[in-house]
Amino acid sequence: MGAAPKLTPFEMEMAGVMAQWRLDPVQYVHDVFKVTPDEWQADTLRAVAKDPRVGLSACVGPGKSTVMSWIGWWWLDTRYDATGFAASVTRENLRDNLWKEMAKWRDRAPTVKAAFDQHAERIVHKKRPETWFLSARGWAKDANPTQQASALGGFHGKHVLVLLDECGVLPDSVMVTAERIFANAEIDEARLVAAWNPETTDGAAYRICTRGRASWNVINVTGDPDDPKRSPRISLEWAKQQILDWGRDNDFVRVNVLGLFPLRGTDTLLGPDDITKAQARDVPEVALRGEASIWGLDPARSLAGDRAVLRERCGVVAFRPHIFRGLDGTQLGDRCSHILNESKRTPDYLFVDVGGVGASAFDRLVVLGWKSIIIPVDFAGSPDQDRFHDKNAEMHWRCAKWVRERGCLPIDSGVLATELTSRKFSYTTRGKRTAFAVESKDDLKARGLPSPDEADALALTFFSEHTPARAQSLLEAERRRLPTASKHERTWAEKRSR
């Protein structure tokens, strides 16, 4: 076998530069295109260098097509036989925006122009056009979701990039198809970059910011006058005037100036931005000291398919749920009792929906020694305040207010996020009063939505508007009857007394 060819000093230098560019797309843009990215653009480039999925939720006109084109050229120019495709809401939109921007930056970089040709539907490396390329994928304006998703199928390579521009209104099926690049074992390296204006809570962008939030690095691109990383391409005077005229909570301002989703649907308690903020909040564990450990158990309505969910809320923090399937009431009570006994925080309250198999689960938990903290809940029962139709509506209203104002939700709470933002509310007649009501589980299922078990379990922790910080009176009662308590009751009481 012959010796490997020696590299010239220039070739060695370029190999080192290429390795640096591959790790640092900000440096690549600076060196190749001779520009300095805006701060939010630099954040985006750094995110793409390390994260497989990056989303840009942007106000109107910040320059997101520019940064998307830089990402495209960085990928093609720093990886041997790199491949990928770009798509947008329509074929025409891709041609007139991202594809046009790619051509502009190619013409500004002599090394890129020397290495790549750009055609109407394909960018190719001049020496390896069959294996080193970025293709434009598109569909007609009247294409249905199936046709749109089909346009993105059948893609292979070692280094694969997918760019989805203006994808806010694309159906979820398109994003699901695009994400299949991560399932292909032949691909060594993959990136999926999506950009959108957050105009609607339907479609792919909504899924990214709710159910898929834990998998995506979502960057808010804003024209907010108070944000130091705002896009300088948004007129500061215009942005200030819109906020002055309409207010920050106006949906036009949120979408076009702040780059945020509309607050919420006109008939839903929470919107995706409420969930995103709650997932982004964080508090130190020390802040939970002295707060009550409140648990909600939403048993399955039947053993055929429905879930039972047990979850804890302590102060401003909601923890990940415990989910059970196929358990009868006795089995569910046994499992929940074990979890409560092993809990890091001593439980103070346990609210149990006694519908379905909940009654037998409640009875079992009482037998196992949780009588002093367990409280039965009837979702259809009377509320504390007459302005609510029933206890269900009251608890969900309190829960939504907590999420909006101070609640901390797990970052991977995609199912909970969907349940909290899907349930509609209405106003009904309660006696001689107009009362607030939430959509029933039966009505949700009629709309093709699953039972909101995780949301109901969280709502149960808001049974009372003013839950004491600690259940001291219950603790004292346990201590007084400790000598005659059962084994399970003594275990719990002894834990509480420490």
CATH number for the domain including 346?
3.30.420.240
Q: What is the domain range of residue 464?
A: 285-497
Per-residue pLDDT tens digits for 392-407 = 999 999 999 999 899 9
Name the pLDDT band for 49 (thresholds 50, 70, 90).
very high
Per-residue pLDDT tens digits for 229-268 = 999 999 999 899 989 988 898 878 888 899 988 876 557 8
Name the pLDDT band for 183 (thresholds 50, 70, 90).
confident
How buried is 464 (Cβ within 10 angstroms: 0-12 exposed, 13-18 middle, 19+ buried)? middle
Place of tokens 């649907």: 265
Give a yes or no: residue 364 inside a domain. yes
Residues 323 and 203 in one domain: no
| Structure-model confidence comparison of residues 328 and 173, the more confident one | 328
Final residue of a domain: which of 179, 200, 221?
221
Residues 60 and 190 in one domain: yes
Average pLDDT over residues 24-42: 96
Contact 121, 137 (CB under 8 A): no
Residue 329 pLDDT = 92
Token pair for 484: 């005659």
Residue 190 pLDDT = 94
Residue 283 pLDDT = 86
Instruction: Determine which of 104-113, 303-312, 426-435 has the lowest per-residue pLDDT on average.
Output: 426-435
CA dihedral over 322, 325, 330, 335, signed as positive or negative: negative
Final residue of a domain: which of 221, 237, 252?
221
Start-to-end CA span in the chain (Å): 74
Residues 292 and 399 in one domain: yes
Contact 417, 454 (CB under 8 A): no
How buried is 200 (Cβ within 10 angstroms: 0-12 exposed, 13-18 middle, 19+ buried)? middle
In the DSSP assignment, the letter for residue 154 is: -
In the DSSP assignment, the letter for residue 264 is: -
Place of tokens 């809940």: 377
Biggest alpha carbon–alpha carbon distance for the chain: 95
Give a yes or no: residue 239 inside a domain. no
Instruction: Determine which of 237-241, 356-360, 430-434 has the lowest per-residue pLDDT on average.
Output: 430-434
Helix axes 25-33, 64-78, angle to 10 degrees: 90
Final residue of a domain: which of 173, 188, 221?
221
Residue 98 pLDDT = 95
Strand partners, 300: none
Instruction: Give how many domains the chain has, as a whole number.
Output: 2
| Other Cβ atoms within 10 Å of 174 Cβ, number | 24
Report if pTM > 0.75. no
Give a yes or no: residue 68 inside a domain. yes
Contact 457, 310 (CB under 8 A): yes
Average pLDDT over residues 64-89: 94
The alpha helices in 317-447, defined as continuous H runs, are: 329-341, 358-365, 391-405, 414-422, 441-446
Instruction: Determine which of 42-46, 114-118, 415-419, 468-472 has the lowest per-residue pLDDT on average.
Output: 468-472
Classified as helix, coil or strand, 161 is strand
Place of tokens 């840009």: 56
Give a yes or no: residue 258 inside a domain. no
Residues in CB range of 285: below 8 A, 6 or more apart:
none
CATH number for the domain including 215?
3.40.50.300
Residues 297 and 200 in one domain: no
Residue 425 pLDDT = 83
Place of tokens 């039947």: 302
Instruction: Specify the DSSP element, H or E, that contains 295.
Output: strand 293-298
Amino acid making up residue 55: G
| Other Cβ atoms within 10 Å of 170 Cβ, number | 23
What is the bridge-based pairing of β-strands 159-164 and 83-87?
Answer: parallel
